[in-house]
Amino acid sequence: MLSIGTLAELAKVNVETVRYYERRGLIEQPDKPAKGYRRYPETTLNRMQFIKRAQELGFTLEEVSNLLTLSEASCSEVQGLAVQKLASVRSKIVDLHRLEVVLDSLLHQCAANSDLTHCPIIESLLPEDKNEF
């Protein structure tokens, strides 16, 4: 059994994160004994590590909550959630690639810019009618 401080340390989070996960229903808060402090079972540490690993893979806490709910469901249900996440990741990659191309172009315009009174990056952010700014 682990104290909240030890649990947080082993899970590499702070104590407030443990409390936040409790409030979100991601982990259970153990009953407080008449004397002493709450003690967390080893399974709570495992669950915390699962949550952190899922977050590292890009899952939001809401999605993690769904995964935890599905932990006793069929693999096909979990697979459905993973398929949705993969589609979201691929969409973000496309958007990031577009952003990369635009930024690369703007940086090249800046490097070739001899007029120090205006900046191509700033101008690209202005509305079409520059008087509105």
Q: How far is CA 87 from CA 17, 91, 92, 93, in A?
A: 29, 6, 9, 10
Show Cβ contacts of residue 42 under 8 Å, excluding neighbours closer than 6 positions. 1, 2
Q: What is the pLDDT of residue 80?
A: 87
Q: What is the pLDDT of residue 4?
A: 95
pTM of the full structure: 0.67
What percentage of residues in the chain have a pLDDT greater than 90?
59
